[in-house]
Each structure stands twice: as structure tokens, then as C-alpha cells.
Amino acid sequence: MITSICGINWGDEGKGRMVDLLSRDYDIVCRYQGGNNAGHTVINDKGKFILNLLPSGILRENVVCVMGPGMVIDLKHLCGEIESLRKAGIIISPENLKISDKAIITMPYNVLQDVMEEDRLAKATGKPYGSTRRGIAPVYADKYLKKAFRMGELLNPDLLYKRLPDIVDWKNMTIKAYGFEPVKAADMVAYFEEYGKKLKDYVIDVGIYLNKANAEGKKIMFEAQLGALRDIDYGIVPYTSSSSTIAAYGPIGAGVPNLKIDKSIGIMKAYSSCVGAGPFTCEYFGEKAERLRELGGEYGAATGRPRRVGPFDVVASRYGIMCQGADEIALTKLDILDDYEEIEICTHYELNGKIIDDFPFTDVLDMCKPVFEKVKGWHCSTANCRKAEDLPKEALDYIHLLEKLCGCKIKYVSVGAERDACIVMD
Ligand code: GDP
Ligand code: MG
């Protein structure tokens, strides 16, 4: 049984929270793309955790976590994340954490490149990409240029150190062009020595492990970072991440391109939020935005940046559901709308006086205006609801309306950040 958990919107839909809950029925959770630009917040009986690199299944004792070849791994950051979880009493060992030998290593110079380029863009165009500045775009570029280092190389450091000087020289050509001090090969060796050594025992061919587990009938979950609209191919390029956030990439990014996904569960928020730059057609401004941002606590988990917010966007979500091949939806943060007497929904976009329903190309998005419709709110707390029949009628109406407008079954409704604050719909 293979299930994919993916984001329908711009990210921060509550994927970590849903993986933490749903992984109770799984044996293995694999992160299949992205790096430490992720911020997955999980709140359960063990405490509050913000996971950047580790799969959100790490908090369950009986779950094995896998970091797949589609990921980019900042060695120092991962060591820090493992250390802080250990301090909170979470057991992490090569028994329950397996890192793909094919996963890419994010280098300190990739982080520098990210900062240099965002600053250059801001100065030159006034329009930076809104990067988290954690080296993600440069390290994926290095991967496709075949200049990146992979986790498996930590097992043969002599070979790695032979390859290193030329790559550092090549990288310094870029760094110098930005007017920055070149990096030193010795510092890169120190990075591998200090952090790589701590991680090498976790490194295996995860494909062998996962195929064996699958043959034994183990249940496997793929966990995405970010959402469909941040995908490198299908998202709002260039305001996207640099990897594939799409469920169909799950088997490739997890290390098992031969396996097929049985179920894709899309995580979709009851309203919209978008961290960083780019077109965001349904965006609220002024007081409306402030109210929703405060109610939803919409500040980036990885960066602390205030997130842009708006009402639920049918056009974008329907596109996200298509991209993710979602079989069912988990609708999160319904409780954030408890206060509203009336709730807006962005049902269509208007482009040059015409109503459109298909999510357009990025450039065209900038010209689109949102069309809002209002529905009656429930205006009472849903935080303690645990069954569909506990929900007020207007909340059920809202859920059913989104289901109809998006054309996908809403199977789960989350009404709080804590593990059990979730309703399984009939
Ligand atoms: P992710 O990146 O998709 O894992 O999502 P984030 O963790 O970045 O953002 C989701 C935020 O909403 C986190 O702070 C969660 O604790 C919180 N959250 C998730 N589901 C719910 C919910 O149903 N209600 C409320 N109030 N908070 C939620
Ligand atoms: Mg997040």
C-alpha cells in the first residue's frame, strides 16, 4: 500500500500535521523532494516540533523514515535537527532513519549563492524570487549540471576529496563574478569532516530497503514539501521551489521509481496562504488580510515571514488537485474561519472582462482579478468537533460546497493543530 501526501496550494497546508496523524497506519514515511526550506509544524503528545528535513513520521516510534534521492540535504542543518529532536526525547538511529546514497548535499557555497542572487535580483529588478535563502535553487542547479555531491560519497571520502578542488575552483568563478570572496576547499573539507561523519551510518541504497519492505506488505507513505503551485514545472515559475512537489514524482524522489502510488491524499487549506513572492490572485490586503493572518497565525515556520493570505481559491485548488492526481482531500484549518459571519470564496478569475476557470500561465495570472462569492459562516467554535455530526450546518455546507466546486472528496477535516483535532468524513 503506497500513499502520497501532497500539497494542493502554495504550501503550508498542514502536510506535516496530517502526516503525523495518518502515519499511525504506516510503517515507513519517505520525504521525496526539497531541503531545509520546508517548515512542517507538528503538535502532539511529545510537544511542538518544526521539521525542516526529517520526515514528519519521525515522531512515531514504530515508523521508519526515509530521506529520498529527490532531496537536497544541508549536513549541518540535519545534524542540528537530529540533535534538537534527541533533546526532546525522540530516538533517532540508523534503525529508524535511512538516508539515500543518491540524495544531494547542500554545500555552504550554495547558501552563499542563494543570498548573493536574491540580493542581486532585489537591486537589479526590485523583484527577488522570495527564496528562503537556504541554497535550494543553487544546489538543484548543481545537481543538473552534475557538479553536486551525493550522500553516498561520504562513504568514500578519499574519492570525494579528489573531486572537491576542481568543483570549488569552478564555483569560485561564479562567486567572484558577484564580487564576493572565494570559498576555500579546506573549509568544505571541514564541513564534510564535521557533519558528514556524523551522518554516514544512516546512508544506504533506500531503493533496496523500500522494495524489500513493499514486498513484505509494509505500508509506505510519501511526504511532499510545499504545494502544487510551487512545483518547478507546474507551479508559478519562477516563484516556485526548485524541485518537483508533485505526487507522481514521489516514487522517483523516494528511491523506488518502479513502485506505483495507490492513493494520493491532497492537503488543502480552508482558506489561502502564500509565503514569499509571486502572483496570488485571491490575495486580501489591509484589514481583511490582517484579520485572517492573525486568526490563522500565518507566519512562516521556516523563516518567520508573515504569509500573504486570502479566501479559498477554487481556480488554483482545482488545478492543484489535477496536478496532484488527488483521490481524496484533507481540508485543514477549518477552525480558523470560526469567527466569520460570512465567508468569501474566490470562485473564478476575471481576465480582460471574461470569467475564466482554468488556472492560467504565470504571466497571465498577473492580469487576473479574483471573483469573490459569499456564503454564510457558522460563527461558533469547531475546535472540539470530532465527528461530522458535531459540525454546525453552515460548516458542513461549506465543506460540501468546496467538494462540489473542486470535484474531489473531502475525507478529512482538521479543526486544530493537535494530532487528534481531526474529523474523518463519511
Ligand atoms: P506544512 O508546511 O504543510 O506542514 O504546514 P505548516 O506547518 O507550515 O503550516 C501549517 C500550520 O497550521 C502549522 O502551524 C500547524 O500547526 C497549523 N495547523 C495545521 N492544521 C491546523 C488546523 O486544522 N487548525 C489550526 N488552527 N492549525 C492547524
Ligand atoms: Mg510549511
- Looking up residue 397, the CATH number of its domain turns out to be 3.90.170.10
Q: Which amino acid is at 286?
A: G
Q: Which amino acid is at 169?
A: D
Q: Alpha helices of 259-351 — where are they, by DSSP H? A: 286-296, 314-324
**Among candidate residues 407, 400, 406, the one with its CA nearest the CA of residue 425:** 400
**pTM metric for this prediction:** 0.96
- The domain that holds 13 is classified in CATH as 3.40.440.10
Q: Looking at the structure, do residues 137 and 279 belong to the same domain, yes or no?
A: no
Q: Which amino acid is at 193?
A: E
Atom of ligand 1 nearest to the CA of 301: 8
Instruction: Indicate the SS3 state at residue 70.
Output: coil
Instruction: Indicate the SS3 state at residue 157.
Output: helix
Q: Looking at the structure, do residues 255 and 343 belong to the same domain, yes or no?
A: no
Pocket test for ligand 1, best of 17, 20, 420, 423 (most atoms within 8 A of CB): 17
Q: Which amino acid is at 23?
A: S
Atom of ligand 1 nearest to the CA of 38: 2
Per-residue confidence (pLDDT) for residue 302, from 0 to 100: 66
Q: Looking at the structure, do residues 282 and 394 belong to the same domain, yes or no?
A: yes
Q: Alpha helices of 55-156 — where are they, by DSSP H? A: 75-87, 108-125, 136-144
Q: Which amino acid is at 344?
A: E
Distance (Å, whole) CA 361 – CA 411: 30
Residues noted as catalytic:
12, 40
Contact partners, residue 397, CB within 8 Å, separation at least 6: 375, 376
Residue 178 DSSP symbol: T
Q: Looking at the structure, do residues 69 and 136 belong to the same domain, yes or no?
A: no
**Domain around 221:** 2-100+204-265
| CB of 42 closer than 8 Å to CB of 2 | no
Q: Looking at the structure, do residues 36 and 63 belong to the same domain, yes or no?
A: yes
End-to-end CA distance of the chain: 21
Last residue of a domain, one of 265, 289, 312: 265
Q: Looking at the structure, do residues 218 and 282 belong to the same domain, yes or no?
A: no
Q: Looking at the structure, do residues 278 and 401 belong to the same domain, yes or no?
A: yes
Last residue of a domain, one of 265, 290, 317: 265
Judge if the beta carbon of residue 332 lies within 6 A of ligand 1: yes
Per-residue confidence (pLDDT) for residue 426, from 0 to 100: 84
Per-residue confidence (pLDDT) for residue 361, from 0 to 100: 95
Judge if the beta carbon of residue 230 lies within 6 A of ligand 1: no
| CB of 403 closer than 8 Å to CB of 312 | no
Distance (Å, whole) CA 120 – CA 12: 27
Q: Looking at the structure, do residues 149 and 70 belong to the same domain, yes or no?
A: no
pLDDT tens for the chain, 426 residues long, are 999 999 999 999 999 999 999 999 999 999 999 999 988 999 999 999 999 999 999 999 999 999 999 999 999 999 999 999 999 999 999 999 999 999 999 999 999 999 999 999 999 999 888 888 999 999 999 999 999 999 999 999 999 999 999 999 999 999 999 999 999 999 999 999 999 999 999 999 999 999 999 999 999 999 999 999 999 999 999 999 999 999 999 999 999 999 999 999 999 999 999 988 899 999 999 999 999 999 999 987 667 788 999 999 999 999 999 999 999 999 999 999 999 999 999 999 999 999 999 999 999 999 999 999 999 999 999 999 999 999 999 999 999 999 999 999 999 999 999 999 999 998
Q: What cell was used for 284?
A: 486580501
From the CA of 49, the nearest ligand is: 1
CA 218 to chain CA mean position, Å: 24
- The domain that holds 184 is classified in CATH as 1.10.300.10
Per-residue confidence (pLDDT) for residue 154, from 0 to 100: 97
Q: Looking at the structure, do residues 32 and 151 belong to the same domain, yes or no?
A: no
Q: Looking at the structure, do residues 289 and 399 belong to the same domain, yes or no?
A: yes
Q: Looking at the structure, do residues 132 and 183 belong to the same domain, yes or no?
A: yes
Ligand 2 mean position, distance from CA 116 (Å): 24
| CB of 164 closer than 8 Å to CB of 185 | yes
| CB of 27 closer than 8 Å to CB of 62 | yes
Q: Which amino acid is at 317?
A: S
Last residue of a domain, one of 175, 199, 223: 199
From the CA of 9, the nearest ligand is: 1
Domain count, the chain: 3
Report the DSSP beta bridge partners of residue 49: 42
Phi, psi of 295 (to 5 degrees): -60, -40
Q: Looking at the structure, do residues 116 and 86 belong to the same domain, yes or no?
A: no
